[in-house]
Each structure stands twice: as structure tokens, then as C-alpha cells.
Structure 1
């Protein structure tokens, strides 16, 4: 299955790239510059493509992203600290981001005669990101089947959509993912902050997976209190 992987340079999408390279035919990585808070992650995506020996394309959609206002990932709004499931994390939602990126990716895949587009959405995203849920994935596939009818047959490959980030860490380790060469932090400093939602989730995932976390965090212990608070809320 000739597959293009949408790769942000984060742990999930880099692990997915390694999975596709091991199990299918990886023909390229596709990243998007949508005017996100920092472009640091794109360098990690480029490095992943180089390691795997495939082309890397960056699609500039900054003109679109500049209109998707109100998110801490695109505007001058503080990135909240804490667990992903907290209400404050809705500040990191970029409206319709995955739908926009996937529509472009499917067009490229059809033009390049690819069989599939792979995306690394996972179960931990379901709390606040509606375009990461199984219903969205299936609906998008249905829509693309109509959009490309008679021209191309492209599948949406989302193997992590119902699993946890800890499961991704386990799968990534199995496929030789270099976790230290991935970037998750929303704040884009010289080190992972350890406090934003994606840092907390990353740190927790390695712990639950029982795999050493090679990430250099500014606050390596914040995740303990953040996840404990979330667990307490779930019990109520």
C-alpha cells in the first residue's frame, strides 16, 4: 500500500511514519505550515523523512491559518498547562484543521497515485478535538470516496484512532522510532516545557508504556500532579 504520512514531527506522527515504513510502502511525508506558534516541529518532520529516505513536502497554508483565529497555537494566547482533558485545553483547538489538511493530502495522494493517506490521530485526542474522533475519520473517508469517485481510490489510514498514546509509544519502540528526535511541546522553547497538555500526555504515555522517556523537560515532574488531578475528576 503506497502511503503518504501526514507528519508534524511529533511523537505520534513520527511513530506512524516508522510503522508505515515497516509494514507498507512509505512514499513520502507531508507537513503543513499553518502559521502555528512555532515551526520547530517541521524540522523534526524533515529529519524523520531523511532518516527514512523518503521525500518531505511542506505545504504553506499560512494564509488560511491566519483566519483560523482564537487558538493558542496560532494567536498570541498563552498555552494552558495541565492535562489534555481539562476544559482549558480547548484553547488549543484550531477550527477544522485536520479536515483542511486531509483534503489537501487526499488531493496530493490522488495526483501521485498513492493508495492511502496516514494520519496519527489517537484516542487521547478525543476529549477536545472533534476532528480526531472515529466518527470524523469515517465521515471524511465517505466524503472522499464521493469526491474522487471514478478518478482515484485513496484510503484514510488511522491505525491509532482508538488507542492511547502509551500504545503509540509501544508501537513506536517496536518499529525503531527515535523518540528523542520528535517534538511535541506547544510552546516551542529550547526544551520541552513539561507542563502543556501535549507534554503532560507525552510524559504520562512513556510512564504507562513502561519505556524510558528520553525527552529533556524543563519541568519533568509536573505531569504527576496534572494526571492525578484528572484521575480525581474522573472518579467524581
Structure 2
């Protein structure tokens, strides 16, 4: 199967990082195919946001149910009801409770298979520098190693691209705001309630990014941030 250089798969969670990646690739003229995963995350509300954005942009969107993997890779606050989502900043050690073992390797493997089946040459995902300490599968060395594998896993090479690998959440938001993106179309909170909690690491980092960009987060919070 011939790989088409402008055809690409985007792993699209519905969060602000992948939201920005999706739009960045869209602006560059890629023919995009969005891939979201239901892995049993308690914040599955993000999948609804992903579907709405893809529908608006006319991007083909698949949501893949891989909840069965929780029998193998449990023990995360994101997928286990008996583990509380920790509150506080990502820099705090407690946030390691949100790690889903080997999640990105699993998702990238499935996305690579999808890319090969449709003749796409790239897979985009939203790893960034703020993830490096907590999430091992967002580190530059991980992306480099995965790229070595995806280039030789089939007769056609696939490149894994993380446009914001060395950028902070603050820089990602700055880039997105410069593109005129509406971040009210993204969901970040690890708690999938009606409104974002404003207390989990994901909310804290998001709010910090807006504050440092002198911008107001359009998302509704349970307690309006000061």
C-alpha cells in the first residue's frame, strides 16, 4: 500500500493538547483521520468533545473501545473507581497515581496499524515537556524509540510526530490562541463531572497556562478560579 505524504492519523483525546495538535495539522493541510480511545477513563467526557470538534471540521473520527485492557493495566486513578484522582500540580509526586501503564505505547501501536491500513505516513500525538516527569511514555527518548520501530514495523514507514514535545502547556496554549482556537471545545479535567473540578493536576496546569497567557479559560469550573 502506498503511503500518502499528506494523509495522517491524529490520536485525539479531546484534551487541549491534542485539540491544538489536531488544528495545527489541519492548518498545514493534512488529510486527517482522528482516532480516540475509550480505555475506561473516568473523564470519558473528553470523547464527546472530540466528536463535536471532528464533526465541525469534517474530519473522519473513530472511537475505539479498548476498555478490556484494564484487566491487564489497572492501578491508575484515571481508570480505577477505588483510587481517588489526586489534587494538586503535576510537579507533585502524588500525580503519578494518574499513570496508565504503557498507555501511549498501546495507543500508538493501534494508531500506527490504522495509519498503515489507510495509507497514512504520519501519526500525531500531543506529548509535551510538562508530561516528561510524570509520564514516561511522553519523554523525547520514548518518541525517538517508537519512531525507530514504526519505521520498520511494516514495508511502509510511519513517522510518529509530537509537535509540542519540547514545549510547555503555556507555549501550546500560546500557539493555539494565535490560531484563534476556542478552548471551550476541549475537556481537560480528570474528573468527568458536569463542570471541570479546577483541583486535579490537569485542571491546575490548564488554568496556569491561561493565567500566564493573560487569557480567560472559557471552560466552566465547579468553583470559578480566582
TM-score, length basis structure 2: 0.94
Matches within 5 A, 1:59-138: 59-76=64-81, 77-138=83-144
Give the number of aligned pairs.
Answer: 220
Q: Which residue of 1 aligns with 2:3?
A: none
Change over 3 Å in CA distance of 1:209–1:66 after alignment to 2: farther
Q: 1:209 deviation in Å? A: 2.0
User: Are the equivalent residues in 1 in contact too, given 2:11–2:18 (CA < 8 A)?
Assistant: yes
**Greater helix content:** 1
Out of 196, 209, 213, which is 1:209 matched to? Answer: 213
Q: Once the two structures are superposed, what CA deviation does each residue of 1:80-137 show, in whole Å capped at 9, x if it has no partner? A: 0000010100100000000000000001001100120000110111111000010000
Instruction: Supply the distance in 2 between the matched residues of 1:103 and 1:145 (Cα, whole angstroms).
Output: 12
Match of 1:197 in 2: 201
Q: Confirm or deny that 1:35 pairs with 2:40.
A: yes
Match of residue 181 from structure 2? 177
| Superposed displacement of residue 220, structure 1 | 3.8
Q: Quote the residue 1:165 is aligned against.
A: 169
> Could you say which residue in structure 1 is the equivalent of 2:11?
6
Q: Does the Cα contact within 8 Å between 2:15 and 2:188 map onto a contact in 1?
A: yes
Give, in angstroms, the shift of residue 55 of structure 1. Answer: 0.6
1:26 aligns with 2:31: yes
Question: How much does 1:143 deviate?
Answer: 1.2
Q: What is the distance in 2 between the residues matched to 1:107 and 1:175?
A: 31
Q: Secondary structure at the residue paired with 1:146?
A: coil
8 Å CA contact 2:43, 2:189 repeated in 1: no
Counterpart secondary structure, 1:147: coil
Please give the secondary structure, in 1, of the residue aligned with 2:95. helix
Distance of 2:120 and 2:34 partners within structure 1: 12
Structure 2 stretches of 5 or more lacking a match?
1-5
Q: Displacement of 1:219 after TM fit? A: 3.1
Separation in 2 of the partners of 1:183 and 1:138?
28
> Larger deviation: 203-212 or 11-20?
203-212
Distance 2:200 2:68 in 1: 26
Distance 2:166 2:91 in 1: 16
